[in-house]
Amino acid sequence: MTTTMAPGTYRRPVRLTLIAVALLCAGLHAQVSDERLREAAQEPENWLTYSGTYSSNRYSELDQMAPSNIANLEQRWVYQTERIGPWQATPLVVDGVMYVTQRPNDVVALDARTGRVFWIYRYPTPPDQRACCGSNNRGVAILGDTLFLATLDAHLVAIDATTGGELWNTKVADKDAAYALTLAPLAVKDKVIVGTSGGDYGIRGFIAAFDASTGEEAWRFYTIPGPGEPGHETWESCPETPTTFCDPDAWQHGGGAVWLTGSYDPTLNLTYWGVGNPGPDFNAAQRPGDNLYSDSVVALDADTGELKWYFQFTPDDPYDYDSVQIPVLVDVVRNGVPFKVMLWGNRNGFFYVLDRETGRFLSGRPFVELNWAEGLDDTGHPIETPQPPGAPTFPGVQGGTNWYSPSYSPRTELFYVTAWENYGSVFDDAPQEYREGRSFVGGAPTSFAPAPGAPTVPGLSRGPLNTWTEAAGHGAVIAVDALTGEQRWKFEMTDVSSSGLLTTASDLLFSGSREGYFQALDARTGELLWKASLGGQIINGPITYEVAGTQYVATIAGHSLVAFALRD
Amino acid sequence: MGRRLLVVGMCVAGLALLVAYGSPDGRGRLGRLGVLGAVHAQAIGYEQADIEYGAAVYRAQCVACHGDRGDGVPGVDLPSGQFRNAVTDRDLRRVISNGIPGTGMTPVELDAAETVGIVAYLRNMNTDAESVVLGDVGRGLAVFEGKGECLTCHRVDGRGPRVAPELSAIGASRAPSVLRRALLDPSSVMRPINRPVEVVTTDGERVGGRRLNEDTYTVQLIDENERLRSFDKADLAEYTILTDSPMPSYEGQLDTQELADVLAYLVSLKG
């Protein structure tokens, strides 16, 4: 006898099984394990950390877009934020969902294919927060199914990546002392690591790790060492009879902010962070000594925060040459010799190659015109050439580069950096006593301009008119050899640029500009291949990702997040 | 000039400016008041000591965002004396102490003396330490339109051509000392954006004009026929930016009194 099951009878278990499998798969996709973060380069369809991967190369293996078809790139969607102001964020993309921060301290989850919004998390930013330079937030981190947001009032918040619901909220530092957090956190193993902003307000900077599950602080590393700690001796005692104002407690408000996301080498279990300027910014006389670890890179054990090594780029800095850039970790083999290095395009105008296991200086050379130093000695220490009073110093206060993310392509073995060329400032110092929560800069740089009263190059943002012009400096994307720093090509722009860079496996380089152009260059030659005028300044880092077999490239221009893909 | 004359001049200028600013719309022009005598450009209604103290406060608390010249934030030109969120000094104090929600302007905690100083400085950013003699505004207008032939190129309040920069608000945007240098050595203070440019298109068209805006791929200008033109640089065979101003120097062309009078008139042009 043959038994025939009623229609639907056998389908139910199958359907349930399929649903279970689908849920399991969905659940697995939603979980961004620390293993996935370590191997982020292996899933180029996603953009899992601020800089794409732990090595911060901002290089993608995606190659659907290529020089041969880039002319067919077209806009697919636009998301417009409700708040105006410079937008520096880099989005994450996780399995088709994009997470981006917007002013003042929101997180938005969008469909990465259409730009339609799933949810918005709105952090209640206190009106009396004192973050330097506006409501900047550069992005979130993800671990498991949790997003991590650093806030302008110096809290760290965990958010459910699916619902946008808040899971925990930990106070990291005191906003009344002008501590703030503007960087995208870095998730490593079971911890979330952040650094503090406030280096122009006399904070004592630190990097701290928090348990990703509970928000409990796991370790803290002060970028300004206290009494008894190695490096404290570089905050030298004041002379018995100082000829100018000298602060005997300078280290207590010595700055050393950390406002960009660090990098991580899983094989060494070291996490690397760029440290900002000493405070006050411009009056070095009141804080004698090299002022460690200001303007340095520090290598910290990811589990304990223990300092393994440091390298200081600009000792006793009077120019606000923050070393808050992205540490780019690269493995290169030259002439059969493997190099495990860190590449650094510094605000002070020099490009550095460091051994990232030891911090040893390997090479360095200027990537822009500069005159504050005539070179570097064998240890990488600058041979300084201070300019006479009233004379311009190059690069100027905004630096040869700044927070704009660089890129490295393993195909070209070139390091790409956004640079400001022919840009100088006349520095002037002034004694300033520290007062909690207040700006603490110790002087003011004057823009070097060809005519008195000529407009200043805007430090953070610009409108649609360029009134300062090329006479005050101009921007460029510069490609240098990863090991020698030798310039290979340069793409010049009329205005200075604050855009991050992105390279791909098809030898494309994406760059933006303050002028509002989003442009694709040939990563090997610097030739312009494609451009689009987006109407607002691009001061974030472009990303690329893939959804349903289509490669997208996205950037933020003005108040709009824009995604492009090839025409079907 | 003796100290006594300077003081007298300051008083005259202060009175005149008080009258001007006391006009119903607060935008009265000295040019209509006909102040007599040569005077120094000087802050009005604020103590010099407060202005100097305010400058120090500004350098310590404000310069990181607003820049050393007060033009570091797009759309905000502090030296112009025109603020988007403040009209009165009380408004300024409120904005400073409370900040502007949703913008980069965070609250700034200042004590009473610092507040007085910063407001005094903000109201006087467009003056500078260089001593400048101002003459009679009415006579300056006459020289401007007559012997100086300034309306041959410049435009004020709807009169004159558009080839050279409009001057209707020049007194709000440029310091008196810079205006004086503009009269004597125009190229030395010509703003880079105003530089004359010459383009030759690939079609052979040759166009000269004054630059209005420029980016990596395009340039916008007003040509010699007062037309707004925009060019793709890719379409240009030649593009030249000149650094010499087409404006003639008035050194030796106007006497000291005439220069002071014209300068007084220019300073009075507040838009």
Q: With H, G, I as helix, E, B as strand and everything else as coil, classify residue A156.
A: strand
Tokens at B271, concatenated: 């838009």
Q: How far is A411 from chain B (nearest CA, A)?
A: 28
Instruction: Identify whether the C-beta of residue A356 lies closer than 8 Å to the C-beta of residue A341.
Output: yes
Residue A256 is classified by DSSP as: -
- Per-residue pLDDT, B116: 85
Please give the model's pTM, rounded to 2 decimal places.
Answer: 0.88
Name the active-site residue from A290, A316, A320, A481: A320
B11 pLDDT higher than 80: no
* Contacts (Cβ under 8 Å, ≥6 apart) of B75: A463, B84
Residue A472 is classified by DSSP as: G
Average pLDDT for chain B: 81
Instruction: Identify whether the C-beta of residue A412 lies closer than 8 Å to the C-beta of residue A523.
Output: yes
Cα(B109)–Cα(B112) distance, rounded to whole angstroms? Answer: 10
Q: What mean pLDDT is predicted for residues A232-236?
A: 98
Angle between helix B112-122 and B48-61 (nearest 10): 100
- Per-residue pLDDT, A450: 75
Residues of B in Cβ contact (< 8 Å) with A494: 214-216
> Would you give the distance in Å from CA A539 to the centre of its chain?
11
Query: pLDDT digits over B211-244, tens only?
Result: 999 999 999 999 999 999 999 999 999 999 999 9
Length of chain B: 271
Cα(A269)–Cα(B22) distance, rounded to whole angstroms? Answer: 70
The shortest CB-CB distance from A432 to any of B60, B74, B189 is to B60
B25 pLDDT higher than 70: no
- Per-residue pLDDT, B129: 57
- Per-residue pLDDT, A322: 96
Q: What mean pLDDT is predicted for residues B169-175?
A: 86
- Which helix (H) or strand (E) covers residue A18, if one does? helix A11-30
Instruction: Identify whether the C-beta of residue A200 lies closer than 8 Å to the C-beta of residue B64.
Output: yes
> Can A320 be counted among the known catalytic residues?
yes
Query: pLDDT digits over A157-208, tens only?
Result: 999 999 999 999 999 999 999 999 999 999 999 999 999 999 999 999 999 9
Tokens at B127, concatenated: 């003056």
Q: What mean pLDDT is predicted for residues A59-83?
A: 97
- pLDDT higher at A556 or B107: A556
**Residue B163 pLDDT class (50, 70, 90 cuts):** very high
Instruction: Say yes or no for a CB contact (<8 Å) between B65 and A85.
Output: no
Q: Looking at this predicted complex, what is its ipTM? A: 0.91
In this structure, what are the phi and psi dihedrals at residue A541, rounded to the nearest 5 degrees?
-110, 125
- Per-residue pLDDT, B14: 35
Instruction: Say yes or no for a CB contact (<8 Å) between A432 and B65.
Output: no
Instruction: Say yes or no for a CB contact (<8 Å) between B106 and A450.
Output: no
A215-224, A291-300, A306-315, B79-88: range with lowest mean pLDDT: B79-88
- The residue of chain B with its CA nearest to that of A495 is B215
Residues of B in Cβ contact (< 8 Å) with A444: 59, 63, 68
**Residue B133 pLDDT class (50, 70, 90 cuts):** confident
Query: pLDDT digits over A447-506, tens only?
Result: 787 787 788 888 777 889 999 999 999 999 999 999 999 999 999 999 999 999 999 999
Instruction: Say yes or no for a CB contact (<8 Å) between B106 and A515.
Output: no
Q: How far is A492 from chain B (nearest CA, A)?
A: 8
Q: What mean pLDDT is predicted for residues A111-126?
A: 96
- pLDDT higher at B257 or A28: B257
Instruction: Give A102-137 as a 3 state SS string.
Output: ECCCEEEEEECCCCCEEEEEECCCCCCCCCCCCCCC
**Residue B108 pLDDT class (50, 70, 90 cuts):** confident
In this structure, what are the phi and psi dihedrals at residue A35, rounded to the nearest 5 degrees?
-65, -40
- Per-residue pLDDT, B74: 74
B130 pLDDT higher than 90: no
- Per-residue pLDDT, B98: 84
Q: How far is A279 from chain B (nearest CA, A)?
A: 12
Instruction: Say yes or no for a CB contact (<8 Å) between B214 and A494.
Output: yes
The shortest CB-CB distance from A104 to any of B69, B75, B102 is to B102
- Per-residue pLDDT, B217: 98
Average pLDDT for chain A: 93
Instruction: Say yes or no for a CB contact (<8 Å) between A439 and B71.
Output: no
Residues of B in Cβ contact (< 8 Å) with A441: 59-60, 63-64
Cα(B106)–Cα(A128) distance, rounded to whole angstroms? Answer: 7
What does the DSSP assignment read for A25-90?
HHHHHH-B-HHHHHTGGG-TT-B-STTSSTT---EE---SS-TTTGGGEEEEEEEE-SS-S-----
Q: What mean pLDDT is predicted for residues A63-68?
A: 98
Cα(B31)–Cα(A158) distance, rounded to whole angstroms? Answer: 63
- Per-residue pLDDT, A30: 57
In this structure, what are the phi and psi dihedrals at residue A154, rounded to the nearest 5 degrees?
65, 40
Torsion angle (degrees, nearest 10) of CA A524, A525, A528, A530: -20
The shortest CB-CB distance from A439 to any of B60, B99, B102 is to B60
**Residue B44 pLDDT class (50, 70, 90 cuts):** low
Q: How far is B230 from chain A (nearest CA, A)?
A: 14
Query: pLDDT digits over A346-390, tens only?
Result: 999 999 999 999 999 999 999 999 999 999 999 999 999 999 999
**Residue B172 pLDDT class (50, 70, 90 cuts):** confident
- pLDDT higher at B226 or B112: B226
In terms of C-beta density within 10 A (0-12 exposed, 13-18 middle, 19 or more buried), how is residue A568 classed?
A: exposed
Q: Write the single-letter amino acid at B207.
A: V
Instruction: Say yes or no for a CB contact (<8 Å) between A456 and B61.
Output: no
- pLDDT higher at B12 or A228: A228
Q: What mean pLDDT is predicted for residues B95-99?
A: 86
